[in-house]
Amino acid sequence: MIKILHIIRQASVGGAFRSLIATAKYLSLFSDYKQRIVSLLSADPVAIKIGAEAGINVITLLSREAIIQEIGNADIVHLHFWNTPEIYEFIRSGLPPMRLLIKFNVAGCYPPQIITKELIDYADFALTTSPYAHESPVFQQLPEKIRLEKTGMIYGATDFARLANFSPKPHDTFNVGYIGTVGFVKMHPNYVSMSAAINIPNIKFIICGKGDAYPKFKTEVETLQVKERFEFQGYVEDIRSVIEVMDVFGYPLCEENYSTVELVLQEVMYAGVPAVIFPYGGASRTVVHNYTGLIVKSELEYKQAIEYLYHHPEERQRLGENARKYAEQIFGGENAAKATHKLYQKLMQSPKGKKKWGKKANQSQKLYASDLFIQSIGNTEPQFLVSMTSQDIQELLDADQKIAESSPLLYSKGAGGIFHYSSYYKKNGYLRLWSGLVLQQQGKHSEAMAEFAEAKELGTHWRTSWYSAKSALELGKLDLAEEALTKVLEAEPDFTEAQEKLRSLGKETNIHTQKQHSVITPAKSQTKQVVSEVTNTNLFLIASKSEETLTQASLPEKSGMTIFAMPKPFKEHIGVIQTNAIKSWTLLKPKPEIIIFGEEEGTEDIVKELGVRHVPNVEHNEYGTPLLSDMFAQAHKLASHDLLTYVNSDIMLVSDFIPSVKYVSTLLEEFLIIGRRWNTNITTLIDFNQQNWENELRRLVNKEAVFNTAYGMDYFTYPRHLFAQLPEFAIGRAAWDTWMVYNALIEKYPVVDASEAIMCVHQNHDYAHLPKGQFSAFHGTEAQRNRERGGYPLSCRTSDATWCLKFQQSDRTPRVSVVIPACNRPLYTQKAIESVLRQTYTSYEIIVVNNGPKDMVRPALEPYQNKIQYVYLEGQQPEILAALNHGINLAQGEFITFLHPDSYFLPERLALQVNCFDKGASSIDFVHSGWQIVNSSGEITLTVKPWYDLPELDWHIWKLWKIYKYAPTKAMMFRSYQVKLLGGFNTHLKEDIADVDFVIRMGIKFSETAWLRQPTYCFRLEEGMVASTPPKFIEHFELVLDNYFSLPEVPDWMGILESRARYNTWVWAAWSMYHHKNLTQMANYLERAFNYTPYSTEQTVSDWVDSFMRFASEYGYTIDADRLTKIPEWEQVIEKVLTETVKNSVVV
């Protein structure tokens, strides 16, 4: 007998518990199981009864000791997960050894119901309940071995016995039913209005379920005068009686819903009732469009679909019959129990193991619960972390505004939202603050003030008083408003908005600042720059995240610098690159003091050769690894100068380093300077006797190096009185570098990102010096200990810098260059120019380049001659790529973006994208956004949101077709110098494919991309226009692949993936031919794919079918696999590859 312990937040009549029971009930058909259910909260009596009827005992409200005992007695612990504070507390509470299966009852895509990698790592097996959830990035980005062995999908099940003796009942009205949560965490916000718009006589909408939307719905039906059309039944246990009178199941969910697999959809399908749904959440993978129901994309389509089914009863019957067969085959408790039984058997083959949650809570009780909430939603909503940690007031206010505008799901009371967590952790100040912000946004000012009062009492930021004042003014409580405003100005005397509010109450502000040389400028859009009085410099300092604006430099220049480091043994390649690095430091001017620590092999020889100081004795941990804490402490005592730099021993520094650092030291008294590095392949000793060695190094970097991510920090420069004491970090292991930035931010030291000013050259190497290679450095025992000793700080990086060191530009130089290739289209070029002139951001230049045998554009551009730079290049025909490249060469701006005549910018385009760059210091390389497709009348026909298909912005070559579909350069903004380093567009390719090639090359050399999750331009799709059609442009994909794998920047490990990339590309190309009804070319491309297949012949053919079906679903239709495989061209290619396989298998 196998003992299963189910743990659920609350045994109720909801879907999670019913799914649990539906599966557990049928398990006895396959083996002898003893099952118990622990409800962490008080169980619903109805749920206890349902469990008893299935022969399963539901136990509730156990003490922690009793739960521990239950876990110890169980063979398998089956945790039914939602993001709730109760579930997370259970996970983090320190549990005995067990076999843990976590079943995710959410799709995991929208906060707060997020499935994080920490949860997957914590479980012995992670189980999703729909393909929609299982195909989410958190699962697909797992290493293949882990994904195949440790994760899986079993459809969440319903018990079709609920529908026993189902029989449709006659009725006089056309009934559209809805069963489920009646609330805006799930339902479409316009449910009533779009339902009321349906033009069907005698229609009736039957709404069943619990929820908080009933009052709003009832008000809306009264207002629209359609009360007779709607029947609100509330919660109904006997759903069979409701489904029996349904003609259609209308299930329009909101876009950000947490559904994974909808049990009620399974039930209505089993009953033969066709469903009409929106393509959101797991529901979209429960219904098969035009086979078991209809999937619509807009309110208009929803109306049309319901009306269509009303007028075509034969279609209702067809869809209903298909739905019934599909549900019987795929869904139901018995099917789920069969798969779950196999999973339980697999888990029993491994012993119980101790579970350790991957991240400890902070020691501060006030921050614990808000940290927990942030961890539970992963990296999906950064405004919460900003609200807790930023030192910039405008950034804090912006983050708070985003929190105030949270979706109903994100602020929900019972679905893991802000209200849920704040009601559970009543003593957490930030959760109470965030609850108050949402309430204030909703106009509930009395409730908001109560939350702000609690937040303030619990010790949050002074801006809590500002929010209290705003609500008090709304309520007319002027005395409370005055009191709160006074507290604001006591904390921040120059906060002008509070001053103005206080004056409007007839009060004078008489609180004076002691900051005699500071000016507060709250406007985030205003760049704050300081011009140095130090001569011979073209640098300036921008405050990216600080409200403080410095006056001209008045601090004395530091007299010298001490660089200290601890190299590895000087063996083989490591010895070569460390020698290069240290020699480069000795050539810096003015010459720094250099202290080399440690006694590794070869260290004594190099310090004698170069004449630098040597300190051999450094404390080690029990693994023999030197401790950074001791090295930093000794460096502080021994250094001859007040300016210190720690640098890793594989880093070369050049002539820009010391002048840049000294420049900062004349402006800031305290600081930490960091920067990104250039990863470069250098295998030999550099001849530093050559006068042009630095120029040659720069050429190598520009041509072949990769600009590392914002996490790659290899030097730390600071005044001597900072960082004298570090935790006992092991050198060469992860986490200590991010702690340096985190600690500086906590201590309010300015953090300066010098990535644009300092060329920091990292010489690539392996990790052969460590027993387990790179894994040891980042994930081994010592790396984990570094994290523990640092208190698990936030993973800070260069993008968290509060200041940015840049090159000075003329005041007349625009920040953005907009390049428009005119393509001899005068009217559209005019419209494109007009869209730039309407931008809310005004620091730009417009470069229009036209080419071709005759200039047809110049006369149309006469009105703009003083506003644009126009160039005509005579040639045989318009060449858009040549025009773009000429514009790139002319560009003077810090940033560059492209606008084609078939498109136009939305008014906020430049402002929004520049803001993304500015908020990321020097750590954003390019910004991507969405777009809108409009018709000839300017009406929006589609809003493209590419972040759903490319959420991580990873420009991998094996996703070539996705990049082609979702990454037009028209949607992006780049740093001009990087585009010029890249060499612009490849003019040997077709325009569309050159875009893909450009983005992929940018992605490999400059990897930090940011999403701007909103449309920024409109693409004009005129009537009769079609996108580039195969086969011509597809052939160019092979050129892209050839070019990519010849790039020096492509790391060696990616070469292993070349065959897979080519295979994936040709399979997609074959599907594209099928999509365009070119079946001969389809067969040709399948043959090409077969040359690169990583699978057996049988697996390859199966993958082709699966891939065709997946690609088709992305375009909104389904493929009949049986019909596909019977196409003559398909049969011919299969016969050919099978013959080839047999021929190759013959052994002579």
The tens digit of pLDDT for each residue in 733-783 reads 878 888 999 889 888 899 999 999 999 999 998 876 656 555 666 667 787
8 Å CB contact between 495 and 488: yes
8 Å CB contact between 409 and 188: no
What residues in the chain have per-residue pLDDT under 70?
Answer: 358-368, 505-554, 557, 768-779, 791-795, 808-811, 876-878, 952-956, 958-959, 1022-1033, 1052-1056, 1141-1148
Q: Which tokens is 1042 given?
A: 């050839």
pLDDT (0 to 100) of residue 1086: 94
Q: Distances in Å between the alpha carbon of 389 and those of 384, 402, 430?
A: 9, 15, 11
DSSP state of 290: T
pLDDT (0 to 100) of residue 366: 35
8 Å CB contact between 735 and 781: no
Q: Distances in Å between the alpha carbon of 308 and those of 293, 305, 372?
A: 12, 5, 48
3-class DSSP state for residue 249? strand
CATH code of the region 2-158+340-347: 3.40.50.11380
Structural domain 161-331, CATH architecture: 3-Layer(aba) Sandwich (3.40)
3-class DSSP state for residue 634? helix
In the block, which residue shows the tokens 């893991």?
Answer: 416
d(CA 463, CA 373): 21
pLDDT (0 to 100) of residue 534: 32
- Concatenated DSSP letters for 997-1010? HHHHHHHHHB--EE
Domain 2-158+340-347 and domain 161-331 have a common topology: yes
Stated pTM of the model:
0.55
8 Å CB contact between 1135 and 1143: no
Q: Which fold has domain 375-504?
A: 1.25.40
Q: Which tokens is 424 given?
A: 């559970």
List all residues 6 or more positions away from 728 whose beta carbon is below 8 Å from its beta carbon.
621, 627, 629, 789
pLDDT (0 to 100) of residue 966: 78
- The residues spanned by each domain of the chain are 2-158+340-347, 161-331, 375-504, 562-806, 809-1042, 1057-1145
8 Å CB contact between 884 and 819: yes
d(CA 680, CA 1048): 10
d(CA 408, CA 683): 56
Q: Distances in Å between the alpha carbon of 262 and those of 188, 234, 253, 331, 691?
A: 15, 19, 11, 11, 71
Question: From the CA atom positions of the chain, what is the Rg in Å?
Answer: 32
CB atoms < 10 A from the CB of 701, how many? 20
Q: How far apart are the first and last CA of the chain?
A: 54
> String of b and e for 546-567 (b: at least 16 CB within 10 Å)?
bbbebeebeeeebeebbbbbbb
Given the candidates 3.40.50.150, 3.90.550.10, 3.20.20.80, 3.40.50.300, the CATH classification of the domain at 809-1042 is: 3.90.550.10
Q: β-strand 940-944 against 275-277: which pairing, if any?
A: unpaired
8 Å CB contact between 433 and 421: no
pLDDT (0 to 100) of residue 427: 87
DSSP state of 527: -
Beta strands in 616-719 (DSSP E): 643-647, 651-652, 672-674, 678-680, 706-707, 715-719
d(CA 888, CA 903): 19
8 Å CB contact between 767 and 774: yes
d(CA 928, CA 996): 14
Q: Check: CATH 3.90.550.10 for 562-806?
A: yes
